[in-house]
Homo-oligomer: A and B are copies of this chain.
Amino acid sequence: MEYTVGDLAKLAGVSTRTLRYYDQIGLLKPAGINASGYRIYGPAEVDKLQQILFYKSLDVDLERMKEILNSPTFDKAAALREHRQKLLAKKAQLDLLIANVEKSIAAIEGRITMSDKEKFEGFKKELIRKNEDQYGAEARQKYGNEAVDASNAKVAAMTKEEWEKLTGLEKEMKENLKIAFNKGDPACAEAQKAADLHRQWLCFFWPSYSKEAHAGVAQMYVDDPRFTAYYDKEQPGLAAFLRDAIFIYTGKQRNTRNS
């Protein structure tokens, strides 16, 4: 398969100017030149252009590409594996930026206040990474705090309205639940109100509501430690109490379940 500049350009999605420039700087010379002075590229050049575009997507400058691609010890597979690693690193960096954005959204909405220093942390890390990228260092990944903040900030990714409604629902539910818990009766008005609010909360996530599913979730709050911990944190026994209230709300019989 032989290509002229235009053919290869179209194939690769780059401009003909780009190919001529690569020829000019000696990055990608055509396989030959025909009688009328046209550049002719072969399959080897297609492969090399692919390599070039890969590296380009990584922001490797053309000078460095020449070094890499002209190296006699150049192992394609190894280069691609390295490339993959870099792409993954880039993605990790993106995660960091996303976390920062989400944090900023939260800040604007008044839930968190960020110090001026904090505002730039994501970008500073990016600078460091770029440096490391450029000079081939492979050390990285200790973004502990940021990642934790990221997961917190995920909540911020919801629209403001969603967030407010959700937190409002949850807060109201908990208030009712605590009052009911102190009364000790999962059938009392407050407990049933809490169960109803919990249903609304669930409906926020679920496309369709069913009593059975609702009861199932309530049971899971007791069986699954991650949920139990959440509810029992403020008031031990609250998870089980909520389950009882929901069982009554959904009409499920209180049978022999332990915990």
Name A residues whose Cβ lies closer than 8 Å to a Cβ of B: 1, 11-13, 43, 46-47, 50, 53-54, 57, 76-77, 80-81, 83-85, 87-88, 90-92, 94-95, 97-98, 101-102, 104-105, 108-109, 116-117, 119-120, 123-124, 126-127, 141, 143-160, 163, 184-187, 205-208, 210, 212-217, 219-220, 222-226, 228-230, 232-233, 236-237, 239-240, 244
Contact = CB atoms under 8 A, between A and B. Distances in A.
A88 B213 contact: no
A90 B87 CA distance: 12
Contacts of A233: 151, 226
Q: Which 8 pairs of residues, A with B, have the shortest CB-CB distance?
A: A156-B216, A147-B236, A154-B225, A151-B232, A156-B217, A156-B213, A157-B216, A147-B237
A206 to B, nearest CB: 5
A25 B104 CA distance: 26
Contacts of A144: 236
B76 A214 contact: no
A152 B11 CA distance: 25
A53 B76 CA distance: 35
B11 A120 contact: yes
Contact of A90 (B50, B94, B143, B229): B94
